[in-house]
Each structure stands twice: as C-alpha cells, then as structure tokens.
Amino acid sequence: MRIVKFALALTAATLIAGCGTTNGLSNRNAPDEFAVTRNQPLVIPPDFALTPPRPGEAAAQGVDSRAQAIDVLFGGPAPRSAAEQQVINQANGDASTVGARTTASDPNTPVVDKGAVTQTIIAAPEGPGQEATVSTPQ
C-alpha cells in the first residue's frame, strides 16, 4: 500500500512539475514584447478647441469627400494623347452617359432582339462531332 501511495505521489509531482515548462524547455530567453519599443507620451492636440458642425449647415471646408477619394485613388484626370483624343471624338465620347452600366441592367432599357439565329447558336450542343453542326436559315 505504501508503494502505491508513493507511486501516486511521484506521478502527481511529475505532472505538476511539467506544468511549469513548455515541452520540457524553459522560456526564459524569450524577448519581452513590451520592452521592444517605448510608448510615446500622450499629447493634447493643438486644435482641441474646435466646435462640432451644426446640423443643417454646410461643411466649413467645402470639399466633396467622394471627389477627394476618387482623386486619391486614381490621381485625377490624366492628360490624353492626340491619338486617344481623336478616337474619343470619333466615337462621340462626349455624348456618352455617366453610369451607362447601371442603365444597361435596368429592365426598362430597350434591348435589340437578335432573332432565332442567336438562339440556335446558343442552344447548339458542345463538341467537335457531327451533332455539333448547326444550319442557319438563309
């Protein structure tokens, strides 16, 4: 009975001693992540006396945040070469509507009916075999 108690005590002591280390190795040489850099002292900003804007008033700066974000992302309008400007003029680029992609998905946008030929091409089976050929009406 003494041997069983001694074995249980030895096992318990071994298990408790194992909790103090990680995989049997000591972590004493690990760097302290808080000692790497010093925190800067807190400073009261010089414009602390600013008043918040009143509801309904225009912004004091008068800057459109959307235009400012577009300028930051894309760098503003880029100068175009003479050839590029000529292509835009020939394509009547000044008359295009802004947001054409939005109006294209609108259900009220008129769509050109391509007829039965397009439907036949779309419905054609895949593959290089004889069944993949389609005849179009003349």
Give pLDDT tens digits for 69-79.
Answer: 888 787 767 78
Q: What is the pTM of this model?
A: 0.23
Tokens 């041997």 belong to residue: 3
Residue 55 has pLDDT above 70, yes or no: yes
Residue 5 has pLDDT above 80, yes or no: yes
Q: For the chain, how are helix, strand and coil distributed in percent, rounded to 5?
A: 40, 0, 60
Find all residues with CB under 8 Å of 10, minimum gap 6, and list them. Answer: none
